[in-house]
Structure 1
């Protein structure tokens, strides 16, 4: 008898080699002509397809369906409900409807599956179609399917990025407005205002640049070095002590603004304005999400509290701490400025 099914595909050969006597189908020589026809069409198709035959939903599939199965044990000749047991609560009712004569088409259907030893959520667009014999009775189900996991996740990530972008733009506008308004109110002259606004907006630009690498933020050390590099000529006078901690992007921006304000003041009036002055930065995080940060200046000119509080004071005392749901405080000790921030990591 001519070999069945025709073709040199992996699954055509697997069907020929399979011991069908262990199933209720028996030898392929005695299969119904409708089953033989469907199997022949199945293995010739380049589109992922699976056939569930009979009340036991015995599985046939083509080469393209192998990618859907992943590392699952061989599905050929096994009940489809057994092959996809972990997802049967979701797809079983759809199969029942198909066996009752009702076709179903679903796009981007989420399923919790296990095809590599690890549970995963995957998405599929598929159609379960009733298969009828020559008398019109439903004898099986044809599953035509394509996996859409990458597309769905890409759309979700795109939506997250759009929301994040909108949020960032709002933050930038709000902070820029605060910088300009506060600086104008506290500046002594138009030239002083122009210079201060320019410097602070440049600082905002650098802070925003810290977030271009992704939504997961960068380490505190990275924020410090990127922000203070334009200010600090001698890093031997600046000590950093703290864990390799990653903050949320919005907190990176807030911390960077505070660092720039503290750093420029230290360079003009504080520890970095003298040859022997030093700045110590330290931070820590607790297991429950707490975050602490300190900036301590030593060895600079004697410090006294400012006669009036400007934007810098509001930035370190109110704006930045708000991003950490915490409190910020600047102490103008005679030995040097000390800034402390206590809050929470996002």
Structure 2
């Protein structure tokens, strides 16, 4: 492109001979031709286009764009990008990621995506004389991301089917078990895991937002909006998401049976904070009936006491004003996959 720019007959364009170009245009063109990042200079009221070698794949098989109006080069999408270009020419830069455009660069329309910045180019006196198009095509990335999202959704759908099958198998296998409460508790825990899966699915199974996990787990047990959540935005990994969902479910179930959630005036505060490298979670009940310490420890309590595994700690207290539980765990453990 450096050679083509030198050999081009600029006298037949609104820019005129390069000898008459302002020094700012000469400087920016020299810079653009040297860089390996796709760039185009769009200069003057006629939007004359000058671009570098890296810009060629963006153009594809379009008619030669050198010296032509940028509006003509991109005529098929000018109604979309024209207003953005006009903002740059008015002195306002715009940066856009994964912008969808249906372009014609191979003789047929094709869907493509671009991340680009249109920025004003100024003369020494501050006057805007043109704009810089700095662009990278992200079509392949966007399509791969869409395929991954589809696969993740399919995985989530299949996992839900598996969990539903587990529930059905449990109901049939345990139908003769006398302790129906234990059977129902088991199936309810499977449902809690399903809600944790939903929270993970929303973020492609890479991590989940702690608040979202808590909300999803508590929603079926908090019909009167008695639970208040408070804490910073924290991302936790898939394994910690499952564990947190089960712990919160057990705490809320106990509160619904015996504690603050068993009466309309009861309240639960679930809060969390970071203390150095540790995540600390606090469960506080108030306004409910007095709960005496349990004489025996059931599976739910044992599950809570397991916490988040190695390095974590759990403290349960049966106070007259309401049950309390403190949990802590190293953040590095909670963010591992």
Using structure 2 for the length normalisation, give the TM-score.
Answer: 0.49
Larger radius of gyration: 1
TM-score where L is the length of structure 1: 0.48
